[in-house]
Chains A and B, each alone.
Chain A
Amino acid sequence: MLSFLVGEALRDLRGAGRVGVSAVLLIALSLSALGGFWVFSLNLGRAVDQWRERVRVVGYLKDEPASSKLDELTRQIEAMPGVLRVRYISKADALKALKHSLGGQADVADQLPRNPLPASVEVTPDAETATPEGTRELVRRLQALPEIEEVQGGSQWVEGLAQFRRLFELVGLGVGAVLAAAAILTVTTATTLVLHLRRDEMEIMRLVGASETVIRLPRLLQGMAQGLLAAVVALAVLEVVYALAVPRLEPLLPVTLGLQRAAFLTVPQMLLLMAGGAVLGALGGLLARGRT
């Protein structure tokens, strides 16, 4: 029975002709767009996660503390909720870091009559606190300490990036949904055409006592086969575009997103995309079913 149903579905697929090919191409286009947005969003997400780990809050001290005072201050900050790590940066360390960042022009710093940089404490929040609300609260607590002159830092810009990612995903889903709707309609048209061409067979099937499942399942399988075929085409297109684009874009990643390498869809994600194709095709087949 299974071989009969699959055989009939393949027969239907051939019978759909150009409309069937159009349906496959439209589903492939829709899945390629979705997959493209997905790959970009995936990399954006990795960047957000990476930047989230780098969130720091810096408290600049009024005076360089004595060693005993520094231990007490460090303990006080470490006891605050959401603090993962505290690092003290002395005035000398700060100047050293400035010289390092100036590179060849480091001697400019030597012209200064005295070290103008303040000592500071660099506070690393834990993962739960590395949010705009969490870091705002941390800043407020640090500002309340009498040793602290000024507090800088936070995760606002990381959250901005995360929000951009969410917006990007929404746009991707929107574009994908429009294309998916067009693809479903095309599969519906292709299947309806096949149903029209094969109405005699369906009449005979009903007259001899075939169950509705046997009559309709080949159309559903036909839609699914179109969707799966389209998903394979879409993945091939994505792979080719990725292989062509990555050598050109990868050098830009460290300076833009802070990533060393770009990432493509994982095997489970590719399987999910293929399942999406099958579902799109099956939906088209099901909608056509309602018209018989």
Chain B
Amino acid sequence: MIRLQRVSKVFGEGPARVPALSDITFSVDKGDFAVLTGASGAGKTTLLRLLYRDELPTEGEIEVADFDVTTLRRSEIPQLRRSIGIVFQDAKLLAGRTVFENVAFVLRVLGTPRRDITPKAFAALKAVGLSARAQAYPHQLSQGEAQRASLARAIVKAPALLLADEPTGNLDEQMAGEILGLVKDIWSRGTTIVFATHQARLVTQLKRRTLKLEGGHLVKDEG
């Protein structure tokens, strides 16, 4: 599902040159669950951005869901992203739309037939236990609920790969546990997961393959 070969990423040029990732090589098979860990600034977010082609690597090769990300044309990026669901630390819900509309928005944007939108959106909300809050607006949600809505939005298009960038970073222990449980449910249905977190406790709790970054270097790949 994911293959990185000697990937490096440097931001800026000359004296302003900042190496973010150096010589990263690993792969994640279809259906795997990988935890990407490391302190803040270790390069987790940069690595995820390379996977969904928000950034291009300075060196190396990247393959995601059968797409050669490094040589992908601009017009082909949407096709790559349709196979990826993304969740961020801040839920990034659209303020003027209800939870249901936020989830349905993805389907509408992707041209899903009108008759399929409502059942699919409700199925995604049900999967994250948020059906009852479908008509609530983002400002009426708790942080945990907002993150669950964000998860529903990520999975509504049934992606082959889910990238989670610190989705529990703003949550208390109980809420973080709930989100983690939901992500595991999604994984158990066959979705490949890359879960980035700096929280060591979660890493221990997950008991999955762990990729640890330190200063942009991959220092551990175990489990």
Contact = CB atoms under 8 A, between A and B. Distances in A.
Contacts of B94: 200-201, 204
Contacts of A204: 92, 94, 105-106
A212 B77 CA distance: 10
A49 interface: no
Interface string B83-96: 11010000010110
B110 interface: yes
B180 to A, nearest CB: 22
A209 B79 contact: yes
Interface residues of B, number: 23
Most buried by B among A204, A208, A212: A208
A212 B75 contact: yes
Contacts of A112: none
Nearest to A2: B111
Nearest to A200: B94
Nearest to A15: B96
A246 B81 CA distance: 62
A170 interface: no
Interface residues of A, number: 16
Interface string B72-83: 000101111111
B52 interface: yes
A203 interface: yes
B208 to A, nearest CB: 25
A32 to B, nearest CB: 35
B109 interface: yes
Most buried by A among B83, B92, B110: B110
Interface string B198-218: 000000000000000000000
B147 to A, nearest CB: 15
B108 interface: yes
Given A1-B111, A4-B109, A214-B109, A208 B81 contact: yes
A206 interface: yes
A211 interface: yes
Interface in B92-135: 92, 94-95, 105-106, 108-111, 114
A212 B81 CA distance: 13
A58 B113 CA distance: 78
A204 B153 CA distance: 10
Interface string A100-113: 00000000000000
The 8 A-B pairs with the shortest beta carbon distances in the complex, nearest first, are A209-B82, A209-B81, A210-B109, A209-B78, A1-B111, A4-B108, A208-B106, A211-B78
13 contacts: A4-B108, A200-B92, A201-B105, A204-B92, A204-B105, A205-B109, A207-B81, A208-B82, A209-B78, A209-B80, A209-B82, A209-B157, A214-B109
Given A200-B92, A210-B109, A212-B78, 5 more contacts: A201-B105, A206-B81, A207-B86, A208-B106, A211-B78
Interface of A: 1, 3-4, 200-201, 203-212, 214
